[in-house]
Amino acid sequence: MELFIANKSIIHSWDSRIKILTFFLFILGIASLKSFVGLFFVLLISVFSLFLSKTNLNNLLKILKAPLFFLAFTFIILGLSSGGKIIYNIGPINIYYNGLILSAVISLRAISIIFIFATLFGSTRFSEIFNALNSFHIPSIFVCILLFTWRYIFLYLESISKLFSAAKLKGYSKIKGLIHIKTTTNLLTTLLINSFEQSERVKASMVCRGFNGTISFKENHKLKPIDFFISVLYLFSITTIIIFELWK
C-alpha cells in the first residue's frame, strides 16, 4: 500500500525537510497554471522526477485510480454543461468546447501534482516526514497523533479483513438491502468498540513508560549544498513557467 521503496537516488538522498517544502510550493505553482504549454512542461518535470526517484509504478497506478475516476466524471459533466461554443451535438445533448478544454487543464494539473506527490512519498519514509513536520514546529501533539494513526492503520486493516472473512463464512456475501447495511454497520461498530478498548490499554502502557506528549526523533542531518541546489532547480523551473504564462 505504501509508495515508499528504499532506493539510492538523488531524490531519496535529498533532505526531507527541504523536499517537502519545495514540493509543496511546486504543487501550488502547478495549481496556478492554466495554459497547455506550461502544463506540458510541468508534466515533463513531474514524469522526470518520478523516473529519478524510481517510484513503484504499480503503487502509483493504485493511487491514480480514484483521481482518474473523478477526472473522467469532471470531463463528462463539464463537457456537457459548461456552455459556450458547441463542437458536437447528438440530439438534445451538446458537447461544449470550453468544457473539454477546462477538463483537460484540470486533468493535466491533477496528474502532474499526483506525480509530484508520488515522487515525495515514494522517496521519503513516513517516519522522515513526521520528523520533518516536527522540525517545522508543527505541534508535537499533532505529530504524535499522525505517528500513532499511521501505526494503527495497518493493524485495523488486518482486523477488518479478519472480521469480514469470518462474516463471509457465515453467509455475509449473500445478504442484501437493509440487512446488509445493518450487518456491515455492526461489523464496523465491533471494530470501533475494540479500538476504544485497545486505546485504553495503550494509554495505560504509555503512561507507564513516561509518555509526555513528545516523541524523540533522530537528529536531523545537516543540510548540504546539493539539497538547496535541487530545491532551487525545482522552484526556478516552476517560477519561470508561471512568469512565461503571465507574460504571454
Partner 1 sequence: MHISEGLLDPKICIAGYAAATVLLGITLKKTSLDSVPKVSIMGAAFFTASLIHFKIGITSIHLTLIGLTSLILGVSAIPAISAGLFFQAALFGHGGLSTLGINILIFGLPSLIVYGLFVFIRSFFKHKYLPFFAGILSFIASLLSTLIASFVIYLSGESFASLAWIFSGANLFLAFIEGIIAYIAIKRILFSKPQLILNT
Nearer to partner 1, 226 or 240 (CB): 240
Q: What gap in Å lies between CA 145 and CA 215, rounded to an integer?
A: 11
Nearer to partner 1, 25 or 52 (CB): 25
Nearer to partner 1, 14 or 96 (CB): 96
Question: What amino acid is encoded at 76 in this protein?
Answer: I
CB of residue 186 vs partner 1: minimum separation in angstroms? 6
Identify whether the C-beta of residue 29 lies closer than 8 Å to the C-beta of residue 46.
no
Nearer to partner 1, 32 or 224 (CB): 32
CB of residue 225 vs partner 1: minimum separation in angstroms? 27
Nearer to partner 1, 171 or 225 (CB): 171
CB of residue 194 vs partner 1: minimum separation in angstroms? 8
Q: What gap in Å lies between CA 171 and CA 179, rounded to an integer?
A: 12
What 93-100 contacts at long range (C-beta under 8 Å, 24+ apart), as own/partner pairs, is: 100/75
Q: What gap in Å lies between CA 17 and CA 19, rounded to an integer?
A: 5
Sign of CA dihedral 196, 198, 201, 205: negative
CB of residue 113 vs partner 1: minimum separation in angstroms? 4
- DSSP class per residue in 118-162: HHHHHHS-HHHHHHHHHHTT--HHHHHHHHHHHHHHHHHHHHHHH
Instruction: Decide: helix, strand or coil at residue 69.
Output: helix
CB of residue 227 vs partner 1: minimum separation in angstroms? 20
Nearer to partner 1, 189 or 239 (CB): 189
CB of residue 222 vs partner 1: minimum separation in angstroms? 27
Q: What gap in Å lies between CA 155 and CA 167, rounded to an integer?
A: 19
Which residue, chain included where needed, has cell 475494540?
194
CB of residue 120 vs partner 1: minimum separation in angstroms? 8
Integer CA distances (angstroms), 213 to 28, 199, 209, 233, in order: 32, 15, 12, 38
Nearer to partner 1, 182 or 224 (CB): 182
